[in-house]
Amino acid sequence: VNVTRTAPAGAPWLQFICRVCGLIYDERLGDADSGLAAGTRFADIPEDWACPICGVTKADFEPHVPTTLPTRAPAVPVVAPRRAGLVVVGAGRAGWQLVQALRDGGYVAPITLVTACSGDLYDKPQLSVAVARHLPVTGLVRETASAAAVRLGVRLLAHTHAVAIDAPRQRLRTTRGTLRWQQLVLAQGAMPALPPQLAPAHVWRINELAAYSALRTQLDGSVQRLAIIGAGLVGCELANDLALAGHHITLLDVQPLPLAAHLPALAGQRLLQAWQGLPICFIGAVQVAAVDAHSGAAAAWCVRLQDGRSVEVDHVIAATGLRTPGRLATSAGLAFDSAAGGVIVDAQGQTSVAGIYALGDCAVVAGRASRFIEPISRQVAAIAARLLGRDGSHATGPAAHSAELLRVKTSALTITVKRWAHGPGHWRSERDDAQGLHMAQHGADGQLLARLHAQLAASSTCQIRRW
Ligand X SMILES: Cc1cc2nc3c(=O)[nH]c(=O)nc-3n(C[C@H](O)[C@H](O)[C@H](O)COP(=O)(O)OP(=O)(O)OC[C@H]3O[C@@H](n4cnc5c(N)ncnc54)[C@H](O)[C@@H]3O)c2cc1C
Say whether residue 20 binds ligand X (CB under 6 A). Answer: yes
Binding test (CB under 6 A) with ligand X, winner from 125, 258, 264, 279: 125
Binding test (CB under 6 A) with ligand X, winner from 258, 360, 425, 436: 360
Binding test (CB under 6 A) with ligand X, winner from 104, 253, 337, 361: 361
The contacts of residue 312 (CB under 8 Å, 6+ apart) are 225, 294, 298, 299, 301, 302, 303
Nearer to ligand X, 39 or 325 (CB): 325
Say whether residue 343 binds ligand X (CB under 6 A). Answer: no
- Of 4-12, 112-120, 216-224, 258-266, the window that binds ligand X (rule: CB under 6 A) is 112-120
Site for ligand X in 300-339 (CB under 6 A): 328
- Of 65-73, 113-121, 216-224, 345-353, the window that binds ligand X (rule: CB under 6 A) is 113-121
Binding test (CB under 6 A) with ligand X, winner from 15, 40, 100, 207: 207
Nearer to ligand X, 302 or 328 (CB): 328
Contact in structure between 420 and 453 (CB atoms under 8 Å): no
- Of 125-133, 254-262, 348-356, 392-400, the window that binds ligand X (rule: CB under 6 A) is 125-133
Site for ligand X in 54-83 (CB under 6 A): 54
Binding test (CB under 6 A) with ligand X, winner from 268, 409, 412, 414: 409
Cα–Cα distance measured from residue 343 to residue 362, given in angstroms and rounded to the nearest whole number: 6
Site for ligand X in 212-271 (CB under 6 A): 234
Say whether residue 93 binds ligand X (CB under 6 A). Answer: yes
- Of 29-37, 88-96, 281-289, 414-422, the window that binds ligand X (rule: CB under 6 A) is 88-96
Nearer to ligand X, 45 or 129 (CB): 129
Provide the minimum distance between the beta carbon of 90 and ligand X in the complex, in angstroms, as a whole number: 3
Say whether residue 378 binds ligand X (CB under 6 A). Answer: no
Say whether residue 405 binds ligand X (CB under 6 A). Answer: no
Provide the minimum distance between the beta carbon of 159 and ligand X in the complex, in angstroms, as a whole number: 9
Binding test (CB under 6 A) with ligand X, winner from 17, 21, 88, 271: 21
Contact in structure between 22 and 405 (CB atoms under 8 Å): no
- Of 72-80, 115-123, 287-295, 457-465, the window that binds ligand X (rule: CB under 6 A) is 115-123
Binding test (CB under 6 A) with ligand X, winner from 23, 45, 116, 329: 116
Q: Tell me the site size for ligand X, rule CB under 6 A.
A: 35
Distance (Å) of CA 25 to CA 19, 53, 121, 173, 209: 11, 11, 17, 39, 22
Provide the minimum distance between the beta carbon of 16 and ligand X in the complex, in angstroms, as a whole number: 16
The contacts of residue 201 (CB under 8 Å, 6+ apart) are none
Binding test (CB under 6 A) with ligand X, winner from 247, 371, 378, 418: 371
Cα–Cα distance measured from residue 207 to residue 219, given in angstroms and rounded to the nearest whole number: 17
Cα–Cα distance measured from residue 51 to residue 21, given in angstroms and rounded to the nearest whole number: 9
Site for ligand X in 448-467 (CB under 6 A): none
CA within 13 Å, CB half, 153: 21
Provide the minimum distance between the beta carbon of 149 and ligand X in the complex, in angstroms, as a whole number: 13
Say whether residue 95 binds ligand X (CB under 6 A). Answer: yes
Cα–Cα distance measured from residue 98 to residue 375, given in angstroms and rounded to the nearest whole number: 13
Say whether residue 128 binds ligand X (CB under 6 A). Answer: yes
Nearer to ligand X, 241 or 314 (CB): 241
Nearer to ligand X, 17 or 387 (CB): 17
Cα–Cα distance measured from residue 45 to residue 142, given in angstroms and rounded to the nearest whole number: 24
Provide the minimum distance between the beta carbon of 161 and ligand X in the complex, in angstroms, as a whole number: 4
Residues 165-204: x where in contact with ligand X by CB under 6 A, - otherwise, as a string: ----------------------xxx---------------
Nearer to ligand X, 95 or 436 (CB): 95
Nearer to ligand X, 190 or 437 (CB): 190
Residues making contact with ligand X (CB under 6 A) = 20-21, 54, 89-95, 114-117, 124-125, 127-128, 161-162, 187-189, 206-207, 234, 328, 360-361, 371-374, 407, 409
